[in-house]
Amino acid sequence: MADQGQWQVAGNAAETYQRALVPAVFAAWAPRVIALADLQPGERVLDIACGTGVVARLAAQQVGRTGTVTGLDLNPGMLAMAASIASSDPDASAPIAWREASATKMPFPDAAFDVAYCQLGLQFFSDRAAALREMIRVLVPGGRLGLMVWRSIQHSPGFGVLAAALERHVSTDAAAIMRAPFALAEAEELHALMAAEDFREITIEPVAGTVRFPSVTRFVQDYVAGSPLSGHVAKVSDEARAALISEVSDTLTPYLGQDGLTFPIEAHLARAKK
């Protein structure tokens, strides 16, 4: 999904990511990300750090058969999963090409796309400036960019609790992995990064959302299994894993209801033009 080891999944993690994490965490945000660029039929779209392709497939529906969509990701497992998911409307959707490459060295010519999206990828890139430089390079003059990054983990109590429990029962490295998605949390920093690479008409809006899992146990198990946390948690004892789930369950009791676990999360949605 991203450009460094803090979000590189292995084994069957991509399947768990698509089956459990996409509907629980990511899917509801995809239409909001798509809306940032006001897609038009026939446009050429690039989805950077595309993961299993939730944004790319929505874009393909909007630009239609006369458009094109490319999903770019460094993780072959994510791309294989993305390619295996059939379009909901193949006769009306643009074809999607899946490309394995780094966001900091994109294998595309200058001005190859009308629109670029990056949903929850920029915060992971080891060189964010280089990635943004590549984004503006591959856009046509006047091309549009739509970005999403999480706000601070303080705005997401479920993940904050999980990070703290991981630190106590697994390792500081595991806790760092859990906190990494929230590493580009300040709007001012994001704006400065985009402006430094000559994006213009930059707007950044804080938006609230919700994370939903059937239970706390499923939250912990699915998030671990569908992320780079799996290897770290696998190394500890059964007792430590049980303590991890127990602590998270006890702390998140206020967020449990008839429909399972529900807790808030917030993101910055950013748009800009070349």
* pLDDT values of the chain reduced to their tens digit, one per residue, 274 residues: 444 334 344 457 889 999 999 999 999 999 999 999 999 999 999 999 999 999 999 999 999 999 999 999 999 999 999 999 988 788 899 999 999 999 999 999 999 999 999 999 999 999 999 999 999 999 999 999 999 999 999 999 999 999 999 999 999 999 999 999 999 999 999 999 999 999 999 999 999 999 999 999 999 999 999 999 999 999 999 999 999 999 999 999 999 999 999 999 999 999 999 9
| Rounded distance between C-alpha atoms, residue 251 and residue 163, angstroms | 12
How many CA atoms lie within 13 Å of 273's alpha carbon, on the beta-carbon side? Answer: 6
DSSP-based three-state secondary structure for 260: strand
Per-residue pLDDT at 36: 98
Per-residue pLDDT at 110: 98
Per-residue pLDDT at 223: 95
**Two tokens, residue 184:** 């580009």
**Two tokens, residue 150:** 């999480």
Per-residue pLDDT at 1: 40
| Rounded distance between C-alpha atoms, residue 174 and residue 219, angstroms | 16
